Structure formats: structure tokens, C-alpha cells
């Protein structure tokens, strides 16, 4: 693809034919998924009127994403993403075929509905990180942010169409036809993925295996302070905001006196509001920063919860859910964009998987918690409690600022290849890297501070241990050391160092004195030979 400058604004990524086709297929697929979810949520209110049981459907759909998103992120980084996505679509189609069949013959039970919803959640868990990770493959680099925004817009177009269409199909033809429409949508998505002319992955001698990639992803997550902030903000917001999603079927049926079509209309209003919010958000971002947007989303969501608790007229509930949709898309795109901005390409799938784990963990725990509270104190009181908690949490978390994401995370490739007398086996390790610096006494404090900043970079890119030592005979001689689990992982580390990391290392090197650069040594463990018997 050409590296031209994007001139088409928010819709520039749609000029790329592959992205446009897959985006349209995704909208259709998500529309079918929302139709299925409407049918499942409404059928559960027929099978059981208990708030905890209804909330359990929401939890069954999000719990697998909480449990499996990180392994899914690893798989998205090491497998052929096109084939992986096709396999997932087949799994999801099988789930909807089972729901359709059981519903048609009147054999759908509470346990079957929850179990199949859980299987659908497994498919969603496997698919989420991969769909997001393929975006840089489909559009030029300058259009990646626009493509991410369009993906969010596409989800909410589906949210505005799917629930309403699902409610109408459910009311007119029953659940079996609604589930059948979902099956048809998966067929279209599979066809688009088969058509995608994706180049085969080139053989890479440094390709990661599952468990090594899993450990590398967790190390990066542990060491990335910027990602920690995003995860904290997401967990707090979605734990409180999940109250509306967990209880909305009961709000529609019990508080507002609606039927399946009205429930679909409510969800369609959320989707329509999200589309409107996505369209005006570029203007909002020119006026206010991400933290203010997230605070505004919390306030609006809390107000919507409060109004719903008083059982407003049906028409008013539809109107206020338009505002809920706008606030929801604001929170989703703000937090997702912040996560994308702090993740380099090599760990993008795994990092986004951690974000999705936190998001869905908060939604799952919140759904179960709000369902239990609803059982104890009733739906109106639960909505008010959720609103108050979200409002207070929004103002407290506003003090924890989101990262700006300005760092250049493109690989710098500035580390020279390590010198070796003979080739080293890739699985040999661990590896100890020693870097000897000479630092003047008056620069020692400044140097150690800069080196401490660099410790996070070492750990993010693959080190599992890091430290600083000094020579007691000459305190101006300082050695930095870090441990990497294998020779291959250290070679990968060479490729992972970004331009932002290079700038940080330049600050450290500027405080090194001497005619030559710091000496770098690579020390490999020696396996002791077995003793003769």
C-alpha cells in the first residue's frame, strides 16, 4: 500500500478496498450478533424472571473474554490471522445454529442458553484482539487511527440496526428465525475473509512459540506504566457502567412495560446515539482532552441510570438512551485509543488482549454484582446506587491522567548485532547482558535517575530481571545488567527497541564519559556436563 498522506478525513481508510470489504462484512456480522443477543436476553426473561438469572446471560457472554483474551492475543500475534478468524467465524456460526435448532423445537432451557452464550463468548474472546491487530495490515500507517475509529463506528452502526431488527424478527417470527439471520451473517463474514488476498507470513527464524509469547506479553504489561493507567481507568468506569447493560432487559420489561420490539428499540437507540457521538467526537477532541471526555461520559451515563430508575415514559427512555450511546462510544474510543497509542506493533495483539480482559472482567464482575444487588434491593435502587458510584468514581479517576500516546514506538533498529565467536543456539539461555558506564561523580544522581527510567524499557522488551551495580574500587564505574530468558529472546529485543527508547538511551549515554562507548557484554549460562557414572 502506498504511504501517501491521508486526505480523506475520518473516512479515508474506506478508500482501501480490502479494509472497506472487511469493514462492511464486520458490520453485517456484528448486526447478526446483536440480533442473537437480543433474542437470548429476551428469551431468558421468559425462562426466568429473576434479575440474577437475566444478568447471568450478560456475564456468560463476557466471562470467556475475561478468561481467554490474553491467550487469544498471543495466538493473534503468532498465527495466520486470516485463517484464525475464519475458524472463529465457523465456531460462532455453529453456536447460532445450535440456538436456532433448540429454539425451533422448543428445547431451549436456562442451562442450554447460558452454556451456548458462554461458547459464543469464547468465539468473541478469540476474535477481539485479532480483528483489532489486523488494522495496520489493511491501511497505511497514517490511516490507522481513522480505521480504529471506523471500527468503533461500525460496531455502533450494528448496535443501532441489530437490536431493533432482532426485536422485530423476534416479535414477528420467533427466536429461531432471529438466530437464523445471525447464521447468515457469519456466512458473509467467512466469504469476505476467504476473499481477502492476505500475503503469507514470511518464515521468521525468531518467530515466537505460544508460551514464550505469552510470557513476553505479560512482561510488557507488567512493565508498562502507561498501559497500567489505561487499564485502571477502564476497570473503574466499566465496573459501574455495566449496571445499565446487566439490568436493561428487566428495565424494559418490568419498569417500562415494554415487549421484545421495545427492548430492541432501546438498544437501537443506544446504537444510534453512539453513531451520533462518533460523528461529533472529532470536533469535541479539538476542544477538550481525553480525560475531560471520559469524565463527561461518566456523568452522562450516571444521569441516564438515575432517570431510568424512576420508570420514565417509554418515549423518554428511548431519548435518554441516545445520550447513553453517545457517552458509551466516547468512553470506548477514548480508552481503546489510549491503549492503541501506548502499544508497539510487536505486542499489539497481546496488549489489546490485556485491555479486553480488564474491560470484560469489569463488565462480568459488574453484571454479576449488579444482578445480586438487584435481587436484594430492587431494580430502581440498584440503578441509583450504580449512578452514584459512577459519578463519584468519575471525579476521583479524573485526577489519574490518561497517557498522551505521543511516543514514537516504531522500531529504531539501532542496536548492533552482538559479536559471537560461533553461532549460538536460539534456545540457549538465560542471557546476562552487562553494560559498563563511566560516570562523573557530579552526574551520578542524574545518571541513575535516567537509568531507572530505562529499566521499564528493558523489562517491556523482554528482560525478566534488571539491576545496577558499582565498582567499590572506583564508584565512577557503574554497570547496568539485565537478564533475558534465551538468546532468541535477546535477538527479538534488538528488534523491539523503539525510537522513543533510543531517545531515552541517548540521555543515558550523554552522561557517560570516556573516549569510547560503554562496553556491552553478553554472557551465556554454561550447562554443567553430566558426571560420569
Within a domain: 533: no
Question: What are residue 483's phi and psi, to 5 degrees?
Answer: -110, 140
Within a domain: 235: yes
pLDDT reported for residue 76: 79
Question: What are residue 207's phi and psi, to 5 degrees?
Answer: -60, 145
147 and 279 housed in the same domain: yes
Residues in Cβ contact with 489 at an 8 Å cutoff, skipping those fewer than 6 apart: 212, 216, 429, 431, 462
- For each of the chain's 533 residues, which pLDDT tens digit applies? 333 444 455 677 888 888 889 989 888 888 888 888 888 877 777 776 666 666 777 677 777 877 787 888 888 777 778 888 999 999 999 988 998 998 888 887 878 888 888 888 888 888 878 887 787 778 876 677 677 777 777 876 776 677 778 878 888 888 888 888 889 999 999 999 999 887 665 555 567 777 888 888 888 888 888 899 999 999 999 999 988 888 888 888 888 888 877 887 887 788 788 878 877 877 787 788 889 999 999 999 999 999 999 989 999 999 999 999 889 888 988 888 788 778 887 787 788 888 888 887 888 788 888 888 988 888 899 999 999 999 999 999 999 998 877 776 777 777 778 878 888 888 887 899 999 999 988 899 999 998 888 888 888 888 888 999 998 888 889 999 999 988 888 888 888 888 888 888 888 888 888 778 888 899 998 865 445 44
pLDDT reported for residue 300: 95
CB atoms within 10 A of CB 473: 6
50 and 144 housed in the same domain: yes
pTM of the model as a whole: 0.75
316 and 460 housed in the same domain: no
pLDDT reported for residue 3: 38
449 and 519 housed in the same domain: yes
118 and 254 housed in the same domain: yes
CB atoms within 10 A of CB 250: 21
What whole-number distance in Å separates Cα of residue 19 and Cα of residue 516? Answer: 50
Within a domain: 419: no
CB atoms within 10 A of CB 164: 23
CB atoms within 10 A of CB 272: 21
Look up the domain containing 445 and give its range: 431-524
Give 209-255 as a DSSP string: PHHHHHHHHHHHHHH-HHHHHHHHHHHHHHHHHHHHHHHHHHIIIII
Residue ending a domain, among 382, 397, 412, is 397
Residue ending a domain, among 337, 371, 397, is 397
Within a domain: 319: yes
Nearest to 132, CA basis, from 92, 68, 177, 85: 85
What whole-number distance in Å separates Cα of residue 452 and Cα of residue 263? Answer: 54
291 and 390 housed in the same domain: yes
Burial code of 389-404, b = ≥16 C-beta within 10 A, e = fewer? Answer: bbbebbeebeeeebbe
Helix (H, G, I), strand (E, B) or coil at 202: coil
What whole-number distance in Å separates Cα of residue 140 and Cα of residue 135? Answer: 9
66 and 187 housed in the same domain: yes
CA torsion, ordered 253, 254, 256, 261, to nearest 10 deg: 10
Contact present, 73 and 352 (Cβ < 8 Å):
yes
CB atoms within 10 A of CB 421: 5
What whole-number distance in Å separates Cα of residue 107 and Cα of residue 163? Answer: 24
Within a domain: 407: no
CB atoms within 10 A of CB 298: 25
Nearest to 511, CA basis, from 450, 452, 439: 439
484 and 345 housed in the same domain: no
Contact present, 188 and 25 (Cβ < 8 Å):
yes
pLDDT reported for residue 60: 79
What whole-number distance in Å separates Cα of residue 359 and Cα of residue 129? Answer: 12
257 and 388 housed in the same domain: yes
pLDDT reported for residue 9: 56
From residue 409, how far is each of 227, 354, 464 by CA, in Å?
Answer: 14, 19, 21
What whole-number distance in Å separates Cα of residue 207 and Cα of residue 267? Answer: 43
pLDDT reported for residue 296: 93
Q: What total of structural domains would you count in the chain?
A: 2
CB atoms within 10 A of CB 153: 22
What whole-number distance in Å separates Cα of residue 263 and Cα of residue 102? Answer: 23
Contact present, 13 and 146 (Cβ < 8 Å):
yes
Could you tell me whether strands 463-471 and 519-524 are parallel, antiparallel, or unpaired per DSSP bridges? unpaired
From residue 173, how far is each of 13, 46, 94, 104, 444 by CA, in Å?
Answer: 38, 16, 21, 11, 76
Helix (H, G, I), strand (E, B) or coil at 4: coil
Nearest to 135, CA basis, from 1, 228, 332: 1
243 and 288 housed in the same domain: yes
Within a domain: 425: no
CA 3 to chain centre: 27
Question: What are residue 433's phi and psi, to 5 degrees?
Answer: -105, 125
CA 229 to chain centre: 14
Place of cell 498522551: 404
pLDDT reported for residue 310: 92
165 and 270 housed in the same domain: yes
From residue 139, how far is each of 2, 22, 193 by CA, in Å?
Answer: 9, 12, 16
Within a domain: 449: yes
Look up the CATH number of the domain holding residue 68. Answer: 1.20.1250.20
Within a domain: 148: yes
What whole-number distance in Å separates Cα of residue 124 and Cα of residue 381? Answer: 32
387 and 504 housed in the same domain: no
Look up the CATH number of the domain holding residue 435. Answer: 3.30.70.100
Helix (H) or strand (E) holding 128: helix 110-133
Amino acid at each position: 500500500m502506498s504511504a501517501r498522506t491521508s486526505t480523506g478525513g475520518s473516512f479515508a481508510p474506506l478508500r482501501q478496498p480490502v479494509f472497506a470489504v472487511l469493514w462492511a462484512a464486520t458490520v453485517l456480522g456484528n448486526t447478526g450478533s446483536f440480533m442473537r443477543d437480543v433474542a437470548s436476553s429476551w428469551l431468558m426473561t421468559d425462562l426466568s424472571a429473576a434479575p440474577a438469572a437475566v444478568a447471568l446471560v450478560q456475564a456468560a457472554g463476557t466471562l470467556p473474554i475475561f478468561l481467554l483474551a490474553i491467550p487469544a492475543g498471543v495466538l493473534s500475534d503468532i498465527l495466520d490471522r486470516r485463517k484464525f478468524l475464519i475458524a472463529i467465524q465457523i465456531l460462532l456460526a455453529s453456536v447460532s445454529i445450535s440456538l436456532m435448532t433448540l429454539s425451533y423445537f422448543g428445547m431451549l432451557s436456562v442451562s442450554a442458553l447460558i452454556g451456548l452464550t458462554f461458547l459464543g463468548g469464547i468465539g468473541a474472546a478469540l476474535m477481539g484482539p485479532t480483528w483489532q491487530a489486523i488494522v495496520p495490515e489493511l491501511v497505511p500507517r497514517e490511516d490507522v487511527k481513522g480505521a480504529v475509529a471506523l471500527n468503533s463506528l461500525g460496531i455502533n452502526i450494528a448496535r443501532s440496526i441489530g437490536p431493533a431488527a432482532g426485536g422485530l424478527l423476534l416479535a414477528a417470527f420467533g427466536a429461531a428465525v432471529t438466530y437464523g439471520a445471525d447464521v447468515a451473517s457469519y456466512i458473509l463474514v467467512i466469504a469476505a475473509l476467504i476473499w481477502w488476498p492476505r500475503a503469507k507470513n514470511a518464515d521468521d527464524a525468531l518467530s515466537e512459540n505460544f508460551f514464550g509469547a505469552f510470557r513476553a506479553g505479560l512482561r510488557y504489561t507488567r512493565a508498562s506504566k502507561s498501559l497500567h493507567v489505561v487499564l485502571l481507568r477502564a476497570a473503574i468506569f466499566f465496573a459501574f457502567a455495566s449496571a445499565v447493560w446487566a439490568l436493561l432487559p428487566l428495565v424494559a420489561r418490568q419498569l417500562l412495560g415494554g415487549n421484545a420490539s421495545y427492548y430492541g428499540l432501546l438498544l437501537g437507540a443506544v446504537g444510534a446515539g453512539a453513531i451520533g457521538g462518533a460523528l461529533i467526537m472529532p470536533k469535541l477532541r479539538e476542544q477538550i482532552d481525553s480525560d475531560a471526555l471520559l469524565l463527561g461520559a461518566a456523568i452522562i451515563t450516571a444521569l441516564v441510570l438515575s432517570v431510568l430508575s424512576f420508570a420514565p415514559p417509554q418515549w423518554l427512555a428511548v431519548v435518554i438512551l441516545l445520550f447513553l450511546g453517545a457517552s458509551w462510544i466516547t468512553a470506548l474510543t477514548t480508552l481503546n485509543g489510549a491503549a492503541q497509542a501506548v502499544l508497539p506493533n510487536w505486542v499489539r495483539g497481546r496488549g489489546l488482549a490485556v485491555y479486553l480482559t480488564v474491560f470484560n472482567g469489569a463488565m462480568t464482575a459488574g453484571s454479576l454484582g449488579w444482578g445480586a444487588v438487584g435481587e436484594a434491593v430492587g431494580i430502581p435502587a440498584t440503578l441509583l446506587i450504580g449512578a452514584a458510584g459512577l459519578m463519584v468514581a468519575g471525579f476521583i479517576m479524573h485526577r489519574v491522567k490518561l497517557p498522551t500516546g505521543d511516543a514514537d514506538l516504531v522500531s529504531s533498529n539501532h542496536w548492533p548485532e552482538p559479536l559471537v565467536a560461533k553461532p549460538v543456539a536460539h534456545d540457549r539461555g538465560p542471557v546476562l547482558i552487562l553494560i559498563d558506564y563511566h560516570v562523573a561523580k557530579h552526574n551520578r544522581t542524574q545518571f541513575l535517575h535516567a537509568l531507572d527510567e530505562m529499566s521499564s524499557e528493558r523489562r517491556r522488551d523482554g528482560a525478566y530481571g534488571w539491576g545496577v551495580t558499582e565498582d567499590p574500587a572506583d564508584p565512577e564505574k557503574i554497570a547496568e545488567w539485565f537478564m533475558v530468558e534465551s538468546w532468541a529472546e535477546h535477538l527479538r529485543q534488538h528488534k523491539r527497541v523503539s525510537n522513543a527508547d533510543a531517545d531515552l538511551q541517548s540521555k543515558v549515554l550523554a552522561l557517560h564519559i570516556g573516549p569510547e562507548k560503554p562496553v556491552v557484554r553478553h554472557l551465556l549460562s554454561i550447562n554443567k556436563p553430566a558426571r560420569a557414572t
